[in-house]
Amino acid sequence: MEISRTNIDNGNKFDWGKASADYAKYRDIYPEEFYKKLVELGLGIKGQKVLDIGTGTGVLPRNMYRFGADWTGTDISEEQIEQAKLLSQNSGMDIAFFACPAEKLGDIDSRFDVLTACQCYWYFEHEKTAPQFAKLLNEGGKVAFLMMNWLPFEDEIAGNTEELVLKYNPEWSGKGDTMKPIAVPAPYLEYFDVEASGEFLLPVHFTRESWNGRIRACRGIGASSLTEEQKSEWEKEHLAMLAAYPQEFDIKHYAAYVVLKKK
């Protein structure tokens, strides 16, 4: 499904379905510290019913499954959901997945203790999702917005990669990130109080192949409106650039979170 947001890539269309195969293979990259932080925050643990919104290929539910929560995942892309189902079934995990835009989740009957939105909340139409998220939660329920981005000004490889993405897709708005708190969109503050927030540094290990695949699966390349020829030319240049670096390396990232509690 093609999506367009005026605040994303200057309104250019993107479609995560185009990148689902690469996403399934190369985007399961969050280090163990990321998941431990969620457990420390009391999220995704035994006894909780959790809905992961914008689940993609189910990275968060699949990696948090061991902590005992009852997980459901939803995403706007049917292709992403099909990959999520396949990966969870192949691992023997009982996770429910279904395709649905975040803005229409208020139509479902189920109620949850926790809602998570990892690496996706900036796509939501917050005026619509804020009241629906409150409706989906049990009394005292929580919403967690989560993200992890590379640091292009602090990491040479990430910076060079970012420049190359912008060469082919100059409208890509995922550029130039620095470590900062998650800003809570105003509509949520009518229904929720901020319970916790924070940021922390994370090195993420890659090979040349897996870093190239991770970028190929991003909105700037694989999910973008670039032609297949443009994507191929980008990849040739990117692999040539990476050949100057060791076969394996860490990329500097930071993670951030904010936990909202239903009023």
Burial class of residue 69, CB neighbours in 10 A (0-12, 13-18, 19+)? buried
Cα separation, 130 vs 118, whole angstroms: 16
Task: State what percent of residues in the chain have pLDDT above 70.
Answer: 98
Look at residue 123 and tell me whether its pLDDT is greater than 90.
Answer: yes
- Confidence class for position 1, pLDDT limits 50, 70, 90: low
Give the pLDDT band (50/70/90) at residue 11: confident
Residue keyed to tokens 């420049």? 163
For every residue of 7-66, DSSP letters joined together read TSGGG--B-GGGGHHHHHHH-----HHHHHHHHHTT-SBTT-EEEEET-TTTHHHHHHGG
Lowest mean pLDDT among 12-16, 52-56, 216-220: 12-16
Instruction: For residue range 232-244, list pLDDT tens digits in order.
Output: 999 999 999 999 9
What's the whole-number mean pLDDT along residues 178-184?
97
Tokens encoding 75: 């995403």
What domains lie within the chain, and their CATH numbers?
Answer: 9-262 (3.40.50.150)
Average of pLDDT values for 117-140?
A: 96
